[in-house]
Structure 1
Amino acid sequence: MDKHQIVRKAKNDKIRLVRFLYCDNGGIIRGKATHVDKLESRMREGIGQTLAMQAFTGVEQLAPVEGMGPVGEFRLVPDLETFVTLPYAPHTASMMCDMIRTDGVPWEACPRTFLNRISARLAAHGMRAEAAIEHEFYLARKDEQTGQFLPADSSLCYSSIGLDEQAHVIDAILAALEAQGISIELFHTELGPAQQELSIQHANVLRAADNVCLVRETVRSVARDYGLYATFAPKPFLDQAGSGAHIHMSLWGTERGEQAGKNLFFEEGQRGGFSQLGRYFVGGVLKHIRGLVALTCGSPNSYRRLLPHYWSSAYSVYGYDNREGAIRIPSLFSGREASSANIELKCADHSGNPYLALGALLAAGLDGIEKRIEPGEPQEIDPGNYSDEERARLGIQRLPTTLSEALDELERDTVLTEALGPLLATSYIAVKRNEIEFFKEKTPEEETAQHFYKY
């Protein structure tokens, strides 16, 4: 749609406010809204926002970043293709935005621009990326006397009881997503009480990141209509399973490549139908994974989830349908083998900015392709079952156990920091260091309470 068509649709849908949304370095979805009468000019001009917002943290503090203070601003300029009427908010629509400098140039600190930039590098190689996310979240109620959040039910993993318990709210969530053009793949209850998992159909990598934001906004808002709280926090209950945002990704040939329209991760005759190019991609991801998790697992709360034997991944390994590996190569689906080849990154959750997570994953994998990095042998067992000596001999590394350790690794990883660019890398790391400092003196219970409502 062009600007005029969007204005007509907005007025036909009786829209009053249009939210201009973005996801910040803290992984928080933020934005401003314009009245529909000003929509046409705002789509062209954008909405002003202080530069300091990219130094704003998930704990509502301002991290010290040079040039991100009270002086100067950028514009939130919407991607017209992302216009949707929100079925859960009266007379409201939304659009996902890029951060544009006042001179009209994309701002270097914009996560969405970063993902576009990495996609352009991929296109130069005759490739494009598609991605889909497995969204894990909890439904909860709030105890009005204690103020504590409690699981909304006591259902078991994959239990039909759980499906029945939350059938009405889940149906409303799915209907709201469908109304926004988001295709649903799968839904089921997960390991924790009242924990849910929702899988969305794969899309081009930019739209996949946009969809992450739409899913989070929709699930939380619809749940509120049913007197429930939805949380995508990595570890909202210390004694229960954590919630991930597993990334499924594949690379496809473009019209300029020799394998136009083909899934480049598929190669007939190879183990699991997984191609040599795919192996190089995995090799690059494993080489950079200790710094990568600083972006895919972006909160102090994340590292309470990344534990051995918890099926969340704790070691730098890959395997074919090995769900304890950081990277799983899923088995192919009969009848659509070529199109279903992909990788799954397990060490990812919703406290990471999806544009940064997907862009950094691509940058790491692209480094593997360009340098022909072999990933080594796939692991056939839970790597946590090896002794420390066996893991050392096999070159298996423990993933960072704290966000601080992951940030140290990110700062040392020149491939990832150069891909991010100096301003985005500096501001992201400053935001996360600020969050670490904030939680340093907090109890685990205080930490989980803070993360519960924000994600």
Structure 2
Amino acid sequence: MTTLADPVPGGRPGEVEAATALSGELAGRGVHGVVLSYVDTAGIGRVKTVPTARLPAAVAWGVGMSPVFDTFLANDAIVRTDVLGSPDGDLRLYPDLDHLVVLAGQPGWAWAPVDRLTQEGEPHPGCTRTLLRRVVAGAAEEHGLTFRAAVEIEWTAGRDDAPDGAFVPAATGPAYGAVRQVELGDCAAELLAVCAAQGVDVEQVHPEYAPGQFEISVGALDPVAAADRSVLVRQTIRAVARRHGLRVSFAPAVLARGVGNGGHLHLSAWRDGANLHSGGEGRYGMTAGAESFVAGVLARLPALTALTAPSPASYLRLRPSQWAGVFTAWGRETRETALRVVTGTRGLRDRAANLEVKPVDLAANPYLALAGVIAAGVDGLAASAALPEETTGDPARFGEREAAAAGVRRLPTSLEQAVGEFRADGLLRAVLGPVLADAVIAVRQGEIAAVAGLDDEQVAAAYRWKY
């Protein structure tokens, strides 16, 4: 389980001693440095690294990093809010020892997610890992809820020798095809071995739809650990692919046309050890609480896209009839609705039933995306929100009147529209708090300005290798 407590300057009782022992153990295993990892507001993974011998000091007093990174764009330009974006100040990165992993894919290194505190020892209001932990803890305290979550990871493998940032698929076999699996079989086999060595339980890895595209699905954990795992697995894929002469992209749209890379969220709510998405008297076995949870997410999907689809390139992916889930609709195993109710196979439903949120890509900060989705769902559950009728088939077939009658609405078609929806959503902005909410808006507006005047091909190219 993830520690549901903030770091403490000087270390929690016994923590520095544990870090000292772990430092010696790591050195004995040939680990020379520890990657301290977090994800910024733009969805970019940022790191600092320390020698293994400095791990106890990092646990006790953190490692310095400027708060300016909360307003970095994907292209490393900086925007400002009234609080963030100046060159002043410092934060401390505190590694979570419970989730430190020796990187089998990067010999000589270990990896740990961090929480960020101010120099005064207070939680930094822009720390999204801390935010997610608090959202999860609040749901437990107020509603007796726990969650299990997983993030699907789709990536596109390109040739590392392609010129000038171009994308040349590293595999040319058909979608989901045996040819493609053979083409990159050695890389995929090493990825499986490395994930196993790192304690990541992989459920499946397979060729996907787009040229050179693959997907990996991993086991569910509590939401904070699931977000940690999403970051770790992407770091691992990059490292393994590099050894095989490949360059990987997790960008929402590697090319301007065609199917992009998703980062679908799978989430289930539990109470007293029982899965609320199974064994109930509602539709497809959902309990009343699960139906209201789904209704809460559904109601806030337009505003949530500012968190789950945060890049201008996200809207090259969010197009109808491409299984991206671009309509405010839900359905059982319906891959064109934004929310897919997954019941699981008979005999496993008490464990496997969950909600899949589809309009999510890997430009999203996973801590921020999960925090927003959980907060929306909990709000629906607390209000006993009614879940509308399900949608079957492709909602794109609806005419205007039919869509309105069904309550089916197109999600934002641009980042600018998504930011407008987020601005208007008081709940989500309150959950994030004013500092982080303002940072989200400023960073999204900065990304919009960064691509002003670019056509779709240029937008795809601008973000192709950023994520």
Other-structure match for 2:331: 319
Change in CA separation of 1:372 and 1:270 when aligned onto 2, cut-off 3 Å: closer
User: Does residue 216 in structure 1 map to residue 234 in structure 2?
Assistant: yes
The CA distance in 1 between the partners of 2:205 and 2:122, in whole Å, is: 41
Give secondary structure in 2 for the equivalent of 1:315.
coil
Other-structure match for 1:431: 443
Other-structure match for 2:136: 119
Give secondary structure in 1 for the equivalent of 2:107.
coil
The unaligned stretches of length 5 or more in structure 1 are 254-259
Amino acid at match of 2:21: Q
User: Does residue 370 in structure 1 map to residue 382 in structure 2?
Assistant: yes
Change in CA separation of 1:395 and 1:271 when aligned onto 2, cut-off 3 Å: closer
User: Does residue 139 in structure 1 map to residue 151 in structure 2?
Assistant: no
User: Does residue 277 in structure 1 map to residue 289 in structure 2?
Assistant: yes
Amino acid at match of 2:20: H
Other-structure match for 1:226: 244
* Displacement after TM superposition at 1:153 (Å): 1.5
The CA distance in 1 between the partners of 2:43 and 2:305, in whole Å, is: 14
User: In terms of mean alpha carbon deviation, does 296-305 or 330-339 score higher?
Assistant: 330-339
The correspondence of residues 257-276 of structure 1 with structure 2, limited to 5 A, is: 260-276=272-288
Other-structure match for 1:163: 181
Other-structure match for 1:336: 348
Amino acid at match of 2:437: A
User: Does residue 21 in structure 1 map to residue 29 in structure 2?
Assistant: no
* Displacement after TM superposition at 1:445 (Å): 2.3
User: In terms of mean alpha carbon deviation, does 336-345 or 83-92 score higher?
Assistant: 83-92
Amino acid at match of 2:413: T
The correspondence of residues 241-320 of structure 1 with structure 2, limited to 5 A, is: 241-253=259-271, 260-320=272-332
Do the aligned partners of 1:51 and 1:67 also contact (CA within 8 Å) in 2? no
Do the aligned partners of 2:268 and 2:354 also contact (CA within 8 Å) in 1? yes
The CA distance in 2 between the partners of 1:126 and 1:268, in whole Å, is: 17
Out of 94, 98, 119, the residue aligned to residue 77 of structure 1 is 94
* Displacement after TM superposition at 1:50 (Å): 1.0
Change in CA separation of 1:128 and 1:152 when aligned onto 2, cut-off 3 Å: same
Do the aligned partners of 1:131 and 1:247 also contact (CA within 8 Å) in 2? yes
The CA distance in 2 between the partners of 1:398 and 1:269, in whole Å, is: 30
The CA distance in 2 between the partners of 1:9 and 1:127, in whole Å, is: 37
Do the aligned partners of 1:143 and 1:149 also contact (CA within 8 Å) in 2? no
Other-structure match for 2:210: 192
Other-structure match for 1:4: 20
User: In terms of mean alpha carbon deviation, does 141-150 or 16-25 score higher?
Assistant: 141-150
Give secondary structure in 2 for the equivalent of 1:149.
coil
User: In terms of mean alpha carbon deviation, does 351-360 or 304-313 score higher?
Assistant: 304-313
Out of 147, 151, 171, the residue aligned to residue 153 of structure 1 is 171
The CA distance in 2 between the partners of 1:145 and 1:404, in whole Å, is: 32
Other-structure match for 2:70: 54
Amino acid at match of 2:46: R
The CA distance in 1 between the partners of 2:388 and 2:260, in whole Å, is: 29
The CA distance in 2 between the partners of 1:322 and 1:243, in whole Å, is: 18
Other-structure match for 2:5: none
Amino acid at match of 1:137: W
CA offset digits 1:368-410 (Å, max 9, x no partner): 0011111210112211111012111222111000011101100
The CA distance in 2 between the partners of 1:269 and 1:287, in whole Å, is: 22
TM-score, length-scaled by structure 2 = 0.94
User: Does residue 240 in structure 1 map to residue 258 in structure 2?
Assistant: yes
CA offset digits 1:264-283 (Å, max 9, x no partner): 22124543222211110111
Do the aligned partners of 2:331 and 2:341 also contact (CA within 8 Å) in 1? yes
The CA distance in 1 between the partners of 2:199 and 2:181, in whole Å, is: 23
The CA distance in 1 between the partners of 2:111 and 2:281, in whole Å, is: 46
The correspondence of residues 166-181 of structure 1 with structure 2, limited to 5 A, is: 166-181=184-199
Give secondary structure in 2 for the equivalent of 1:308.
coil
* Displacement after TM superposition at 1:147 (Å): 4.2
The CA distance in 2 between the partners of 1:426 and 1:230, in whole Å, is: 32
Give secondary structure in 2 for the equivalent of 1:251.
strand
Other-structure match for 2:57: 41
Other-structure match for 1:257: none
* Displacement after TM superposition at 1:219 (Å): 0.6
Change in CA separation of 1:393 and 1:215 when aligned onto 2, cut-off 3 Å: same
The CA distance in 1 between the partners of 2:99 and 2:177, in whole Å, is: 35
* Displacement after TM superposition at 1:66 (Å): 2.2
The CA distance in 1 between the partners of 2:89 and 2:301, in whole Å, is: 35
The unaligned stretches of length 5 or more in structure 2 are 1-14
Other-structure match for 2:201: 183
Do the aligned partners of 1:246 and 1:349 also contact (CA within 8 Å) in 2? yes
* Percent identity for Structure 1 against Structure 2: 34
> What root-mean-square deviation, in Å, do the aligned CA atoms of Structure 1 and Structure 2 show?
1.3
Do the aligned partners of 1:297 and 1:348 also contact (CA within 8 Å) in 2? yes
The CA distance in 2 between the partners of 1:37 and 1:268, in whole Å, is: 52
The CA distance in 1 between the partners of 2:307 and 2:428, in whole Å, is: 10
User: Does residue 398 in structure 1 map to residue 414 in structure 2?
Assistant: no
CA offset digits 1:347-369 (Å, max 9, x no partner): 10100000000000000001100
The CA distance in 2 between the partners of 1:380 and 1:250, in whole Å, is: 22
CA offset digits 1:63-116 (Å, max 9, x no partner): 112232111111011111111111222311111000111111111110001101
Out of 368, 376, 383, the residue aligned to residue 356 of structure 1 is 368
The CA distance in 2 between the partners of 1:141 and 1:198, in whole Å, is: 20
The CA distance in 2 between the partners of 1:145 and 1:33, in whole Å, is: 31
* Displacement after TM superposition at 1:58 (Å): 0.9
Amino acid at match of 2:462: Q
Other-structure match for 2:461: 449
CA offset digits 1:314-354 (Å, max 9, x no partner): 11000111111000001322222211111000110100000
The CA distance in 2 between the partners of 1:79 and 1:442, in whole Å, is: 41
